[in-house]
Amino acid sequence: MTVHDQRRHASTRAHDGTLLAYQYEGAGCPLVLLAGQANNHHWWDGVREDFHAMHRTITLDCRGTGNSGKPEDGYSTEVFAEDVITVLDDLGIERADVYGTSMGGRVAQWVAARHPARVRRLVLGCTSPGGSHAIERDASVRRALAQADPEASRHALLDLMYTPTWSAKHPGPYTTLGDPDMPPYARRGHLLASNRHDAWDALPRVGAPTLILHGDQDRLTPAANAPLLAARIRDSRTRILPGARHAYFEECRPHASALVTAFLTDALNVPAQK
């Protein structure tokens, strides 16, 4: 039996009727894993098993991706956050740990700020507070991602996610370069949702202990955003991973997963997985 065979798939409906597909695996304290922009739950395929010693992992296909509904409009990080709460309600989970990376980290900010009683511990990876206070990617990155040639754009994204040394040793397939089955309008909706994110004023309402992770070579979401988040979240700590780009959680998996596991299990009064 493969790991994927052990994963359970379910679905529920958001308040607006949109179908929300979600997946769960393992046992223990619930841990919600939130993927990046325009990606489905497979973003976490290479990592989620690292947490199963102490956690039940929960992922979802964010609206517009995977097996979830793909409405014409209504995409925002706030809406995505409410979808997370809907999934937790469907599972009967009152309180969970939440780990979001990239746009998933932006969604996680809203989950923790709007529903503090539902979040036990929070991990924010390779993300930013958004709005006018965020440190944006430079113009060269935007131009590289906007190339008319899809293959050239894909190669540019691959270079932003992983170092050349790592990608040469791991030729793929990659699960972090976008859901290939997304309709163009949903892809645009995700882009707008991420671009319009602004949780600056809400971040002081985050009550959960928070770990902020970032690769110091991240050009997609510059690492200078990590101290901005830390300054707004009162109970937070930051770890910067040397030499890592946007997909630090995969390229630096042993170290990054160990940091997250130690942070999450500390409050459970159990030893971290070795």
For the chain, the first-to-last Cα distance in angstroms comes to 25
C-beta of residue 190 within 8 angstroms of C-beta of residue 64: yes
Residue 273: its pLDDT value, please? 31
DSSP 91: H
CA distance linking residue 39 with residue 64, whole number of Å: 9
Residue pointed to by tokens 């409410």: 82
Burial of 82: CB neighbours in 10 Å, binned 0-12, 13-18, 19+: middle
CA distance linking residue 94 with residue 257, whole number of Å: 25
Segment-wise mean pLDDT, segments of 10 residues, the chain, 274 residues: 67 98 97 98 96 97 98 97 98 98 98 98 98 95 90 95 96 94 96 97 98 98 98 97 98 97 74 31
Closest CA to 107 of 196, 183, 236: 196
Region of 269 please: left (phi>0), alpha (psi -120 to 50) or beta.
Answer: left
C-beta of residue 261 within 8 angstroms of C-beta of residue 272: yes
Q: Which pTM was predicted? A: 0.94
Residue 5: its pLDDT value, please? 53
